[in-house]
Amino acid sequence: MLHGGRRHDFHLLKQEFPPELPWFENCTIRVDSGYTGIVNSYPCKNVSIPHKKSKNKPLTNELKTTNKQLASERIFVEHSIAGLKRFRILSDRLRIHNFDLYDKILGVCAGLWNFNLAN
């Protein structure tokens, strides 16, 4: 189901994957700073989340380097999402009521984007 930008990512994650079940128990997860409470809500093998500076305590150079490394790994995911959004099926309002058809269209778009990356 598509949601507008007004919903927080972590709230949507909890809606789709209830924290009571062990969804990510054996997984290594890389998330952005919008998922700050994921460590407390879900049991995970390993979680990579960027550090935030606080009002009175800036980040050290070591934490900044760690954040840059996480961002350099995550940029490939962000570019893939942007590539799919070029087909406008992820960014426009959903007007197809048949979710199976929507999944097939999304799969075709992902295949076309992967083909574009391979060439």
Print the domain residue range for 33.
1-49
Span 5-23, average pLDDT: 84
Give per-residue pLDDT as tens, 15-30. 889 999 999 889 888 8
Residue 93 shares a structural domain with residue 77: yes
Of the listed ranges 2-6, 80-84, 86-90, the one predicted with least confidence: 2-6
Q: How many structural domains does the chain have?
A: 2
- Report percent pLDDT > 90 for the chain: 24
Residue 56 shares a structural domain with residue 96: yes
- Report percent pLDDT > 70 for the chain: 94
Residue 60 shares a structural domain with residue 2: no
Contact partners, residue 42, CB within 8 Å, separation at least 6: 17, 19, 23, 24
Residue 38 shares a structural domain with residue 77: no
Residue 73 shares a structural domain with residue 45: no
Residue 44 shares a structural domain with residue 59: no
Contact partners, residue 12, CB within 8 Å, separation at least 6: 3
Q: Mean pLDDT for the chain?
A: 86
Residue 76 shares a structural domain with residue 102: yes
